[in-house]
Each structure stands twice: as C-alpha cells, then as structure tokens.
Amino acid sequence: MNASGSGAKTEHGRFFEDFRLGETLVHATPRTVTAGDQALYIALTGTRFALHCADTFAQALGLPSAPVDDVLVFHMVFGKTVPDVSLNAVANLGYAGCVFGVPVYAGDTLSATSQVIGLKENSNRKTGVVTVRTTGLNQRGETVLDYIRWVMVNKRDPAAAPAPPETPDLPDSVAAADLRIPAGLTVAAYDTALAGSPHLWDDYAAGERIDHVDGITIEEAEHQMATRLYQNTAKVHFNQQAAAAGRFGRRIVYGGHVISLARALSFNGLGNGFRIAAINGGRHVAPCFAGDTVYAWSEVRDRIEVPGRTDVGALRLRTLAAKERPASGFPAAGDGGAQADPALILDLDYTVLMPRR
C-alpha cells in the first residue's frame, strides 16, 4: 500500500487489514535461474548433494543436467512473495502441504502467485495471521512448487475492524501418490561412492535417529548475501537501524537460511536423499542470529513406498536444528523435551527421495 506525501510512489508493504480472503496476489519479479545462482548457493550453504552439483551425475540418472537445488527453488519462490505478504511481518510461523513439482534447471524462469486462504486477527489487535497458498511456475507454466505458509503480520491501525476470521484446514502430510518423480529419472546407474554415502532406502527404519554431527557458524555477511540471492526484502534481515528498535535489537537470520543449513548438514547421514519431494510441515521455533553455530539431527518418521516404483523410495524425516548445542544433548523429538529447549530453532517435517537396493 502506498504512503501519502513524498512517499506516494513507494511501496511500504501490506499490513494485516490490507488482505482480503480469496484474493490472488501476482508477485514481481520473474527470475531466470543461472548456474551462477547454484554456485553461489553452494558457497553460502556448503550443500554437497551430488545430483545438484554435477551434470555428469544427473545425466547418469537420465536427467538433462544437474537440477537446481530444491531448497534454492523454495527460497526463490518464497522471496517473490515477501513484498506482498510478509514485508511487515513479525514472524513467519510455519509451512504445510509443500509439493515440489518439475525440476528447475539453469535457464528456467520462475514466477509466483499467492492466494489468501486464511485471516485471523490476534487478541492483542496489533497483529494478525495471514495464510497463503503460493504456486511457483516455470516459463512453460509448469508447477515447480506449491505450498501453504502462515505468517504473523502487523496491523497499520490497531483499531481497524478485522475481517471475519477464517482458519483453513491444513494437510498433515503430503500423500505418497502426490510425490513427483522427475520425468526420465532412473537410478540403475546411481553411484553411491560419488554420492558420498553407502546407505540406501532399505537401510533406514522408522524411529531411527541420525545425528548429523557437524556444526556451521552463521556469518553476518553470508546470511545477508543468501537472503539477497532469494530477493527476500524483509526488513528484519537487513536494516540494523530499524532492527535496533525491535524486540531483539539486531537483525534476524532468515529462517529459510536455517533450513538450508540444516539440509546441508543432513548430508552427513542422509547423503543419498537426492531430492526433497515435499515439506509436510514445519515451524521456526526461535530466532537465529549471526554468530550462532547451528547443529542438526533427523528422525526417520516413515519409510514410504513410492507408487509405481521399485527402484526409488521415500523417507519422511523430521529434522531439527539447534543453536550453540550439539544434537547429542537433546532428547528424542517425540517426547516433547526437544521442543521445550530454548536452543531449538527449527522443526521441519519433510520427505526425500532415495534409491532402493
């Protein structure tokens, strides 16, 4: 919404009372993805999944070239929504029903739209929760990503009358039948030595816990460069002068960057989880700041048969990330102890594809 006076031509972002249930938001700016974007993403996160790093590895599996990292695709689509959805957000609260569609390759152009599917003012009347369903498309109109997220947004005027509350029903998980296998994918020539792990789908069991062991410290410049790569313009990540007057007194690391780091860390133990097929749900439990060291661990929630495939299976994982605390010090996710720990920063439920024996 435009401000008055000298700022009449500048955008200051939507506040809670500016959203209308059912409206469709068309997001700027289309983005042609390049090999440089992928290289920079690797530099900023350290991710090592072979499928996204080597054309030769991808071609051996029947793909034309190395697809762009799934989490990078998520961030690029997400970033387009920020000016229209969460520029005035207090916090991004969670995700559900996220399905990764056709792979994205260097040269593809991404665009995005969102539909407002939920609105609910908070009891303090200063903020409200906005729920949107976002779809990312390539230049051929094919869906590369479809997901739901909900975000707490400031009100411009606490006295403004709220819209009638509408809280949508959210899926608990993405069904196996809805998981998308890239066209032409075959894993007969999958090379576990080049992938960096001998462990395939058959080697994992529901309830198994995997400590990813390594830690990574977040640098101020790196998390800001990563967030700029996604064209995410949220003020809380960049403007220290504005952040100094806020609740934490400093810039907050974009929660998606924490997802990227947790995924990168998960290579140690889940190196053959070559594609993220779905995000079933997730939440950013607590903020993260430059200087924090991130650790991660995963628990296998389920081992899933993929309909029509005997060569590829799916693992439903719950990956948790903590700051300043190695994973070995945390109780199991299911007993509630981990969620109550102030060091926990991320709780992500997602599904990866993995070759079978």
| Whether the predicted pLDDT of 7 surpasses 80 | no
Q: What pLDDT is recorded for position 236?
A: 87
Higher pLDDT, 336 or 18: 18
Q: What pLDDT is recorded for position 245?
A: 87
Q: List the CATH number of the domain containing 260.
A: 3.10.129.10
- Do 6 and 133 share a structural domain? yes
- Do 270 and 127 share a structural domain? no
DSSP string, 298-313: EEEEEEEEPTT-SSEE
* Separation of alpha carbons 252 and 243, rounded Å: 8
* Separation of alpha carbons 347 and 341, rounded Å: 12
Out of 107-111, 202-206, 334-338, least confident range: 334-338
Q: What pLDDT is recorded for position 301?
A: 97
Which range marks the domain in which residue 78 is found?
1-158
- Do 214 and 134 share a structural domain? no
Residue 19: strand, helix, or coil: coil
- Do 2 and 151 share a structural domain? yes
Q: Residue 168: inside a domain, yes or no? A: no
DSSP string, 243-301: HTTSSSSSPPPPHHHHHHHHHHHTHHHHTT--EEEEEEEEEE-S---TTPEEEEEEEEE
- Do 209 and 114 share a structural domain? no
Q: For the segment 51-103, what is each residue's pLDDT rounded down to a tens digit?
A: 999 999 999 999 999 999 999 999 999 999 999 999 988 888 999 999 999 99
| Whether the predicted pLDDT of 6 surpasses 70 | no
Q: What pLDDT is recorded for position 91?
A: 83
Q: Residue 177: inside a domain, yes or no? A: no
Binned at pLDDT 50, 70 and 90, residue 272 comes out as very high
Number of domains in the chain: 2
- Do 133 and 213 share a structural domain? no
- Do 203 and 152 share a structural domain? no
* Separation of alpha carbons 301 and 349, rounded Å: 9
